[in-house]
Each structure stands twice: as structure tokens, then as C-alpha cells.
Structure 1
Amino acid sequence: MNHQDISNTVTSAVGVNGFISIVVTLICIALAWWALQTLKLDLVIRNPKSPQGRLLHVLLAVVLGRFVADFLIDYLIWSQMIRYIF
């Protein structure tokens, strides 16, 4: 295997990992948005239907989705590393 083949392999692997990370993150944000629909924001916010209330809802979905996605991506990476133990 020459230098160019190795470079292409690494570049391809990085691209696939990036794509998987984007897809997992977007799915987790969508799931967080869906899950937050049941949250009664009117108990915390004066007017949850206002633009500020909607923005808070979106920001909560992004933050929660990002945390879940980070966990899932880390778990995927860690599970791939286990094979190097044995």
C-alpha cells in the first residue's frame, strides 16, 4: 500500500465519521424536539407561544440532542476500540 492509498483511506474514514456524526446529531435533536413537545413550558415561561418561548424550546432541543448525540457517538467509538484489547 503506497502513501496515496493510505491518504485516501484516512480521508474516506474521516469523511464517513463526519457524516455519521452529523446524521446522529440531527436525529437526536429531532428526537429531543419531539420529546420536549410534552413539556409544559407554561409552568416555567410566562408566554410559551411567544417567539422567545419558541426559541427557548428550540435551544433546549439542540442542547439536549447534542448531549445525547455526543454520548451515542462516544459509545460507538469506545465500542470500536474494545477490539484492540484482545
Structure 2
Amino acid sequence: MNGMVSMMVSLVCIGLAWWALQSVKFDLWIRNPKGPQGRLLHLFLAVVLGRFVAVFLLDYISWSQMLRYMF
């Protein structure tokens, strides 16, 4: 069950990162942002950003579940 939740949270966060990166003007840094290399960079940035957010959220959930053992 834990693996399924981790996969779903990761995919949702990657999707949200992709959506958020749509507003970034990549044409300021990349010659052809609509080309395949620009799209691949966009995908990689979404995966990296989404994974960082997912790890944070999963760690936060894990830490909050450990709080019950303190008291």
C-alpha cells in the first residue's frame, strides 16, 4: 500500500510541476523551446521538481505518523 501511495503522489507532483512550468518563458534561455530538445528539457525539469516535492510530502507524512510514538 505504501508503494502505491508513493507512486501516486510522485505522479501527481510531476503533473503539477509540468503544469506550473507551462508559465515559464523558456525562450529567454533556450534557442528553440518548441523543439524536441526544449520539450525534453521541460520534461526533465518537471520530473526533477515534481520528485523533490513528492519526497518532501512523503517525508512529511512519515514524520507526522511518527509523532504518535512520542507521547
If the TM-score is normalised by the length of the shorter chain, which range does it land in? Answer: over 0.9
The runs of at least 4 aligned residues of structure 1 exceeding 3 Å deviation read none
% identity of equivalent residues: 70
Structure 2 unpaired stretches of 5+:
none
The aligned residue for residue 37 of structure 2 is 52
* RMSD of aligned Cα (Å): 0.3
The aligned residue for residue 61 of structure 1 is 46
TM-score (norm 2): 0.99
Structure 1 unpaired stretches of 5+:
1-15
Aligned length: 71
* Cα distance between partner residues in 2 of 1:18 and 1:35: 26
Choose between structure 1 and 2 for higher RCO, CA contacts under 8 A separated by at least 6 residues. 2
Q: 1:81 aligns with which of 63, 66, 70?
A: 66
TM-score (norm 1): 0.82
